[in-house]
Amino acid sequence: MHAWEVFQSGGPVMWPLLACSVLALAVIIERTLFWLGMRRRRDRRLAGEILDLAARGAWDEIRARTGESDDCVIRVLVSGILHRDFDMARAMEAEAESRIRRMQRFMGVLDTMITVSPLLGIFGTVLGIITSFKMLGMAGIEDPRAVTGGIAQALVTTAAGLGIAIMSVFPYNYFNSRIEKAAHEMETYATSLELAHERYAAAREEHG
């Protein structure tokens, strides 16, 4: 049986399932490209240098070195440095929240596809079973193959829905783990910058 024949055997519910699969695949591809770009922009060496420069109060040098960087951790640190005379912690928190929202983009869509696809599959199966019992009522037990064939076709939608959910849940969990790791990293570096700034301020007071 060809793929198109299998698709047709599932009935009309296969069309919304197809839409779910296309939408899930589009989100997975888009998020994969996003995280590959994040990895390319990541610069841990520069982030460590910023902390060292901040401890010495070399603000102009930090600005010169970070001007073109789009690393999420570095942008959080730069936001704190720019607002160091007002509220460094809140500035970094606001920037981190903005970055995390970008990382969470379309994750709700993928989560919905994981939830809805199996439900659509079960819905299609129930419709198929109802149709099979109608056929049983008309044909009686003289032609049981008509009924069992209808039930087998109805189960195609359940298999399709489960397949979409299973293939989507792995990248969904991976993307969530990347978001948690990035959030933890931004928080760690932000705390380190606050401590470096406090050391610098204490050193200035000590030396008058």
Residue pair 76/94 in contact by the 8 Å Cβ criterion: no
pLDDT of residue 148: 65
Residue pair 25/168 in contact by the 8 Å Cβ criterion: no
Compute how many other C-beta atoms are within 10 angstroms of the C-beta atom of residue 72: 23
Residue pair 66/50 in contact by the 8 Å Cβ criterion: yes
pTM: 0.86
Residue 55 lies in a domain: yes
CA 42, 46, 50, 52 torsion: positive or negative? Answer: positive
Residue 57 lies in a domain: yes
Residue in 30, 33, 32, 10 with CA at minimum distance from that of residue 22 = 30
Give the count of domains, the chain.
1
pLDDT of residue 1: 55
Residue 175 lies in a domain: yes
Residue 112 lies in a domain: yes
pLDDT of residue 10: 78
Q: How far is CA 74 from CA 29, 49, 50, 121, 193, in A?
A: 26, 10, 8, 45, 11
Residue 6 lies in a domain: no
Residue 69 lies in a domain: yes
pLDDT of residue 74: 94
Residue 7 lies in a domain: no
Residue in 63, 58, 39, 53 with CA at minimum distance from that of residue 181 = 39
Residue 4 lies in a domain: no
pLDDT of residue 11: 81
pLDDT of the chain, 208 residues: tens digit per residue: 577 777 777 788 899 999 999 999 999 999 999 999 999 999 889 999 999 998 888 888 988 888 888 899 999 999 999 888 888 999 999 999 999 999 999 999 999 999 999 999 999 888 888 877 776 666 555 666 666 666 766 788 999 999 999 999 999 999 999 999 999 999 999 999 998 888 888 877 776 5
pLDDT of residue 131: 76
Q: What span, in angstroms and rounded, lies between the C-alpha atoms of 142 and 151?
A: 17
Q: What span, in angstroms and rounded, lies between the C-alpha atoms of 80 and 88?
A: 4
DSSP code per residue over 73-139: HHHHHHHHHHTTTT-HHHHHHHHHHHHHHHHTTTHHHHHHHHHHHHHHHHHHHHHHHHHHHHHHHHH
Q: Which domain, by its residues, includes 18?
A: 14-203
